[in-house]
Amino acid sequence: MLDLVKTFLARHGFSSSVDTEAILASFLEEMHNGLVGKASSLAMLPAYVGLPKTLKQAHPVWVMDAGGTNLRVATVSFNDNSPLIEDFQSSAMPGTQQYLEAKDFYKSLASKLNQLTSKSNELGICFSYPAQILPNHDGKVLRLTKELHVKNVEGSLVAHSIGQALKEMSGKVANNSIVLNDTVADLLAGIALDRQNKYRSYVGFILGTGTNCAYMESSAAIKAVKLDGEHSVGPVMAVNIESGNFNRLAMSAFDLRLDQSSRAPGRQILEKMISGAYLGRLVFEILLQAGSEQVISDAAYQMLKQLGAIETKSLNVLLDPELDALALFPAFDAKDLAIAAGVAGAVLDRASALTAINIAAATISAAKSSSHDERPICIAADGSTFFKAYSFKERVQTHLHLILDSRGIQWQIVQLEDGPLLGAAVAALSLL
């Protein structure tokens, strides 16, 4: 059955295996080009945040995590570097369920902050979309990803827009605001939680609805912007790779079809191959094609057309033998289920290899920019797809061992809880 699946996929240019070293070399080249200001699919955005100083203790700050699926707000403080999260609220991210104008988008964000108690004058905003962080710590929106539907938002300033909406709403203000990407937030959370100085450098990594990496880069290597004087934050600075936009990848007919049906064709190519917003859609596209070619039964094909979609979380049902796939796909016979499992497995195999390259490129760069001692690199990881997709983390680790161990780089994946909230708090406290 696996040979049948492999032959079918190959007819459409899809392979579950990739040339790891060739893609890694291209990834590192794109990173270098972005750092020095050359044309690149990787933006390599400076975060204007260095290694955090000692955190001010017992000082609450407002935090907002504008994620791919959920909007979370809270107040956070640290006591003996242990975090305390209070006033926590979570809701659907504005723009995921309906189109919004930019003004209404920011008003929706501010309304959630307005529900918090006025405990602080500092606000840390974790903004999980491509944004150019400015030296004044605001963020200029480059574009929205993850199928978020907001009109006329490109070019707007995140902290300023939220602050204006909040002030108009209630008169509340945050005297000090800072915007950072979610992977930078995870990186900072990893640093804050490393109370025993176990690691020589840090990588932030997310694979959930979308994907991205950040790492600590030598400030001297960042040539695309001037980092002298007031813009300098020390010998190293967090860099947001915006790795989901990496595009030097061979695309199958299925990838091309999914890309053309997305909100932003031609963008976020890596993200569309590995992230939770797209993996289920990709498997669905492949199985629809299998139905049209009679690779699966007509009953299964008709059921797929009636379903209209497969969610990424449903792939576990196809792959995990302990779960009842027939309960989700009752029209599938044993052959159909085997083919569907083979397709899902192939898609996740390719995604795990590409995910490992994504992480490895950041880890190799972090190692190059840090002290050359025997301590490992901390990979502060977050995201439901990475941790919950069937055996996905284990597949990625297998690839990472092959890539990083051969280069003599020690590494450790650390699973974060509330990484974006904690990292946003660390960033806000750095303003004091």
The tens digit of pLDDT for each residue in 382-419 reads: 999 999 999 999 999 999 999 999 999 999 999 998 99
Dihedral of alpha carbons 177, 202, 128, 32, sign: positive
* pLDDT given at position 24: 98
Q: Model confidence over 289-334: pLDDT tens digits? A: 999 999 999 999 999 999 999 999 999 999 999 999 999 999 999 9
CA-CA distance, 23 to 2, in Å (whole number)? Answer: 26
* pLDDT given at position 162: 92
Q: Model confidence over 56-93: pLDDT tens digits? A: 888 899 999 998 778 999 999 988 778 999 999 999 88
Identify whether the C-beta of residue 259 lies closer than 8 Å to the C-beta of residue 251.
yes
Task: Give the H/E segment covering residue 227.
Answer: none
* pLDDT given at position 85: 93
Helical axes 20-36 vs 334-368, angle rounded to 10°:
50
* pLDDT given at position 228: 61
* pLDDT given at position 21: 98
pLDDT band at 50; cut points 50, 70, 90: confident
- Residue 117: is its pLDDT beyond 80? no
The type of residue at 161 is S
* β-bridge pairing 211-218 and 236-240: antiparallel
Q: Quick one: 10 exposed, middle or buried, by C-beta within 10 A (0-12, 13-18, 19+)?
A: exposed
CA-CA distance, 149 to 135, in Å (whole number)? Answer: 28
The type of residue at 60 is P
Dihedral of alpha carbons 145, 148, 150, 156, sign: negative
- Residue 231: is its pLDDT beyond 60? no
Mean pLDDT of 202-225: 93
